């Protein structure tokens, strides 16, 4: 039973990411999975519950990816660079149509997901700032609360306006510029030296 549940969640997640939420019906999901609609409704009372479970699963999968970065025991500057890379990777896989459908047809789920993601990112950034201060890589006078909120706001902007094209804000160049922009605002002299070495190393690895 668990295997079937996981199979449904994984397949529906892929369908939503590709086609959006609104256009995929429960009939089509059952057909795609090769199960009856009765079996599908045995796991989920309606489409809204299915959407909710898919979103919860996605959030947990992302949490695992971010935890893997923290488990590497990197210094704060290295850690935030890896976080930036992961965020941009997730953005590359992002389907605007999916968010549009979620916001329009399931506004309560949309608000819940946004709140959970922001809260987790806020605590992650605040933890990184505290770590950087302790390591002497970030300035001591930083307001951790404000900087954390500014970081989240900056990461959300590219997905909510058309000034930057998707190709621009998901490029490697954007990743490094965003990283340098952030680090130069919060790093100590020691932190800037670490950031400079990381930038040189990253640029060298991209050379043919």
pLDDT exceeds cutoff 90 at 90: no
99: confidence class by pLDDT, cuts 50, 70, 90: confident
Other CB atoms within 10 Å distance of the CB of residue 192: 16
Q: Which domains, and CATH codes, for the chain? A: 51-206 (1.10.357.10)
Other CB atoms within 10 Å distance of the CB of residue 148: 20
Q: What are the residue ranges of helices labelled H in 93-165?
A: 96-105, 107-135, 144-156
Tell me the C-alpha distance between 37 and 2, whole Å.
18
As a whole number, mean pLDDT of residues 76-87 equals 92
102: confidence class by pLDDT, cuts 50, 70, 90: very high
pLDDT exceeds cutoff 90 at 101: yes
Q: Are 87 and 155 in contact (CB under 8 A)?
A: yes
Predicted local confidence at residue 1, as pLDDT: 59
pLDDT exceeds cutoff 60 at 8: yes
Instruction: Mean pLDDT check: name the lowest of 73-77, 86-90, 189-193, 200-204.
Output: 200-204
As a whole number, mean pLDDT of residues 145-172 equals 81
205: confidence class by pLDDT, cuts 50, 70, 90: low
Instruction: Mean pLDDT check: name the lowest of 11-15, 35-39, 144-148, 162-166.
Output: 162-166
CA angle at 98 for the pair 95 and 101, rounded to the nearest 5°: 150
56: confidence class by pLDDT, cuts 50, 70, 90: very high
Predicted local confidence at residue 204, as pLDDT: 60
Task: Return contacts of 4-12, CB within 8 angstroms, 24+ apart.
Answer: 4/35, 4/39, 4/43, 5/43, 7/33, 8/33, 8/35, 8/40, 8/43, 8/44, 8/50, 9/53, 9/54, 9/57, 12/50, 12/54
**φ, ψ at 187 (rounded to 5°):** -80, 150
Residues sharing a CB contact under 8 Å with residue 65, sequence separation 6 or more, in sequence order:
86
As a whole number, mean pLDDT of residues 31-46 equals 94
As a whole number, mean pLDDT of residues 62-85 equals 94
């Amino acid at each position: 039973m668990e295997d079937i549940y996981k199979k449904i969640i994984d397949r529906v997640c892929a369908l939503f990411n590709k086609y959006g939420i609104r256009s995929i019906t429960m009939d089509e999901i059952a057909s795609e999975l090769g199960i009856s609609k009765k079996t599908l409704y045995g796991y989920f009372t309606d489409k809204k519950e299915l959407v909710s479970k898919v979103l919860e699963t996605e959030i947990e999968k992302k949490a695992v990816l971010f935890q893997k970065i923290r488990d590497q025991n990197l210094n704060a500057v290295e850690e935030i660079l890896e976080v930036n890379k992961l965020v941009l990777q997730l953005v590359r896989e992002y389907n605007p149509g999916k968010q549009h459908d979620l916001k329009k047809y399931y506004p309560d789920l949309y608000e819940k997901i946004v709140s959970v993601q922001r809260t987790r990112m806020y605590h992650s950034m605040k933890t990184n700032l505290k770590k950087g201060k302790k390591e002497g890589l970030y300035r001591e006078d930083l307001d951790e609360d404000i900087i954390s909120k500014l970081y989240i706001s900056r990461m959300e902007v590219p997905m909510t306006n058309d000034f930057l094209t998707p190709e621009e804000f998901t490029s490697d160049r954007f990743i490094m510029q965003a990283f340098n922009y952030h680090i130069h605002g919060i790093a100590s002299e020691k932190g800037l030296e670490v950031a400079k070495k990381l930038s040189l190393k990253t640029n060298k690895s991209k050379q043919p």
